Amino acid sequence: MQFKNNSLTQMFDLKLPLIQAGMVWVSGGKLAAASAKSGILGIIGAGSMKLDILKEQILKAQKLSGESHSHRLALNVPLLYPGSKEQIDLALSLGIKIFFTSAGSPKLYTTYLKDKGAKVVHVTSTPELALKCEGAGVDAVVIEGFEAGGHNGKDELTTLVLLPQVVDAVKIPVIAAGGFYDGRGILAALSLGAQGVQMGTRFVATKESRAHPNFKEAIINAGPTSTMLMMKKIVPVRLFKNTFYEEIKKLEDDCADSSKLLLKLGKGRAERGMHLGDLIEGEIEIGQIAGAVKNIPTVSDLVAQIRSEMLAKLAELNLFFTP
């Protein structure tokens, strides 16, 4: 049994309706290339990269994926950082044609990017914001639920609640993110009307990810209750429960204001945790599904496994029904 094209797989020439998320300190050129070569969309996460590093990672991704796969490379650009326009222009100049924008207004660069012939996907957390994305002219939206790792919406809508409401609200393809890690999940998302799924945490724990080995180990050792959404007074972020988390929790339990939280957070916490591997005092951004991830495969093996899980579950599902 094979997956046929839908509007999303057609748009990006995907062999499976699956997208590897662009994550800060995790999604470098090697990971994105391995994804593109495996027939899914491979996203480089620009969030943590200075321009020279970004250039290096894009060139690496293009070289590793080769001419027949590099059209499946994309760039994730969080718009809250000051250098996002320069990142976009650099990527355009290197031939990147797919942009996932987040943490800012979809109006900011969508027209600019579309005029250059690029595809634009914006990340959103409510049906209302999804409609604004559609109005701004994006080609698709990613909906990201409460269970997702890293930064999160303030309304705490879960993927299961958010997804069908966005599907019913917009005409463009909807990509579901937050809480997915296997083939069953893709089938569930398709059932709810998504055209594809974006996975983050699952791809942190792959051989090709740029995450520090300690970070990968933390995921495969995590339990079902190892994460919590914190720092709601600044920007909500889902954290792995370590010493840094405990310190933030204590501050929040004591009703600390945002200035005290920002002081504790300081600078470079995410790099310290996710890139340098300090599991104690570093900030480890991770999805709630971490507890279900139990191995560190190659991307190629992972994608093959997800595909076979999806097909097996569909066959099983059909057994429950008679014509």
The residue type found at 63 is: K
In the complex, what is the shortest distance from the CB of residue 60 to its own copies, in angstroms, rounded to a whole number?
33
311 phi/psi in degrees, rounded to 5: -70, -40
Q: String of b and e for 266-304 (b: at least 16 CB within 10 Å)?
A: eeebbbbbbbebbbeebbbbbbbbbbbbeebeebbebbe
Whether residue 264 contacts residue 247, with contact meaning beta carbons closer than 8 Å, is answered with yes
Min dist CB 153 to its own copies, Å, is: 9
Query: Cα dist. 111→100, 119, 128, 137 in Å?
Result: 14, 10, 20, 7
CB of 215 to its own copies, least distance (A): 20
Q: Which amino acid is at 16?
A: L
**Closer CB to its own copies, 78 or 153, in the complex:** 153
Considering the complex, state which of residue 121 and residue 162 has its C-beta at the smaller distance from its own copies.
162
- Quote the least distance from Cβ 150 to its own copies, whole Å: 15
Is residue 245 within 8 A of residue 230, CB to CB? The reply is yes
Of 305, 82, 265, nearest to 182 by C-alpha is 305
Q: What is the pairing mode between strands 18-20 and 73-78? A: unpaired
Q: Cβ of residue 244: shortest distance to its own copies, in angstroms?
A: 19
Q: How far is the CB of 18 from its own copies (least distance, A)?
A: 13
Measured from the CB atom, is 47 or 153 closer to its own copies? Answer: 153
User: Shortest approach of its own copies to residue 271 CB, angstroms?
Assistant: 27
Taking the least distance from each CB to its own copies, the nearer of 189 and 265 is 189
Do residues 234 and 161 touch, judged by C-beta distance below 8 A?
no
Nearer to its own copies, 64 or 289 (CB): 289
Q: Under a CB-based contact definition with an 8 Å cutoff, are residues 75 and 91 in contact?
A: yes
* DSSP state string for 229-252: EE-TTSS-EEEE-SHHHHHHHHHH
Is the Cβ of residue 171 or residue 319 nearer to its own copies in the bound state?
319
Of residues 39 and 127, the one with the C-beta less far from its own copies: 127
In sequence order, what are the beta bridge partners of 140?
121
E strands of 34-186, at which residues?
A: 41-45, 73-78, 98-102, 119-124, 140-144, 150-151, 174-177
Comparison of 94 and 304: residue with beta carbon closer to its own copies:
304
Q: What is the rounded radius of gyration, in angstroms, for the C-alpha atoms of the chain?
A: 19
* Nearer Cβ to its own copies (31/310): 310
Compute the least distance from the CB of residue 95 to its own copies, in Å.
Answer: 31
The footprint of its own copies (CB under 8 A) covers 1-4, 6, 126-128, 145-147, 155-162, 164-165, 168, 178-180, 182, 184-185, 187-193, 224-225, 228-229, 254-255, 288-289, 291-292, 311, 313-314, 317-323
In angstroms, give the least distance from the CB of 284 to its own copies: 17
